[in-house]
A and B are shown apart, each in its own frame.
Chain A
């Protein structure tokens, strides 16, 4: 009998691989091994509708729980793979060693934590990445309580929005001189700063903390570099993530900001592939790692096609989204290396889009409440026609026409 394809990690990338494997009618058996108790579920709603209590748990599952068995996919959850032996083509957990024909690493990423020495492990301090995190946090989100958020990235901002909707008091600290500094242009930061301030978030930029404070065995606040202290009933740390690549590193696979893969998502071992948050790949001569649904799904899908013998390479245009209060942010492209931005006003007061250029090359668009800018921007970037920034910024320019001609 053929050894199975083993998939380690049961997230978006794994679900996407399996869905394509099934859709292609492939007969090679698949074993999915996850360290969480559950089959693959959608993570983006965790910090949005699920935390708000507006989305039932069952609807988070990418496929119904029974679906995997129905397709003949074997699953083992609550299981931690402890090692990979690429020479023997086996993986080992505490209980057993299993042989694989191909191995697919979908191990994801994890939230960075604050060091224990400055209070990072105190009760009442949370990170937000898994369903289990939300199940811990949700009961703490009670009206009137003081929530302190460390980090003004998308996770922190989305959590701030949910908390305000639930009537918590929210203080958000960003160490850089503006929120979203690592991922977006100033205009996007400005838009979201105003949005959150209008909703009552006490948003502080260039705010450096020294340590979390403890009272009665639980976090009770934070001390800032200038000596000020801020009270808090609970703390959410949203300071980025790092690739879960330890298993791959220990097996001797090449790693560089995640598990290094080729344009077919192959690692440095020909029988091992990796997809999603855990891996890094070359884009525009640079090795990058993305934490997004698009990247995880498209890479998982691609591996199934590669294993089926298709001649495909990974070159999908990245896209992202975030929901905060009533604002829908949609992003197409990657703005890395931009040196110019233009703002295109939207149809409404609260809608606009930011277009990122590197010289004359259009790289990306951030669209706030402006799905047209997102949709047509995505087409234009995909088409590679690089319309002039002045043209794009002019609200009289019909984006649909530009997209047609790209």
Chain B
């Protein structure tokens, strides 16, 4: 179990306990986190689950592989150094307390 918080640009926070093994795109859509769509179901084809990982947590969320790195080029809001596709972050005790910032499209 991991307690995850999504912060939106307008200052809202959504905090949820996420079961181990679920990815954070699934967790976000289940909990109405805005702007996280996950159209492709997490197979790295749509780039609609973009988040900014809070800097303090970046290392713990793991490596960005080549495919994700490429797909991050397609996000609606331009990528930053702390960009991830949340379908590639898997909940685990390690991530308990993780904070994600949700990009706000124009």
The smallest C-beta distance from A254 to any residue of chain B, in angstroms, reads: 29
Decide: A62 near B32, CB < 8 A? Known: A372-B70, A375-B73: no
Interface contact B41-A44, CB-CB below 8 Å: yes
Q: Does B77 contact A (CB under 8 A)?
A: no
Q: Does A294 contact B (CB under 8 A)?
A: yes
Q: Does B74 contact A (CB under 8 A)?
A: yes
Interface contact B39-A330, CB-CB below 8 Å: no
The smallest C-beta distance from A39 to any residue of chain B, in angstroms, reads: 12
Main secondary structure of the interface of A (DSSP, over half): helix
- Count residues on chain A whose CB falls below 8 Å from chain B CBs: 29
Interface contact A321-B30, CB-CB below 8 Å: no
Q: Does A323 contact B (CB under 8 A)?
A: yes
Interface contact B74-A378, CB-CB below 8 Å: yes
Interface contact A297-B39, CB-CB below 8 Å: yes
Interface contact A22-B26, CB-CB below 8 Å: no
The smallest C-beta distance from A48 to any residue of chain B, in angstroms, reads: 9
Interface contact B39-A379, CB-CB below 8 Å: no
- Count residues on chain B whose CB falls below 8 Å from chain A CBs: 21
Residues of A within 8 A of B47 (CB): 375
Residues of A within 8 A of B67 (CB): 328, 371
Interface contact A400-B73, CB-CB below 8 Å: yes
Query: Could you give, for residues 15-51 of chain B, a 1 whenever the CB lies within 8 Å of some chain A CB and a 0 otherwise?
Result: 0000000100010011010100101110111110000
Q: Which of B30, B34, B46, B73 contacts A63 (CB 8 A)?
A: B30
Q: Does B14 contact A (CB under 8 A)?
A: no
Interface contact A323-B73, CB-CB below 8 Å: no
Decide: A376 near B30, CB < 8 A? Known: A42-B41, A371-B67: no
CB-defined A-B contacts under 8 Å, sample of 26 = A19-B29, A19-B37, A44-B40, A44-B41, A44-B43, A45-B41, A59-B22, A59-B26, A62-B29, A63-B29, A64-B30, A67-B30, A293-B39, A297-B39, A323-B43, A328-B43, A328-B67, A330-B45, A371-B66, A371-B67, A371-B71, A374-B45, A375-B71, A375-B74, A378-B74, A400-B73
Closest 5 CB pairs of A and B: A371-B70, A321-B45, A371-B67, A42-B41, A375-B70
Give 10 A-B pairs besides A321-B40, A328-B44 with Cβ atoms closer than 8 angstroms. Answer: A44-B40, A45-B41, A62-B29, A63-B29, A64-B30, A319-B46, A328-B43, A374-B45, A375-B70, A375-B71
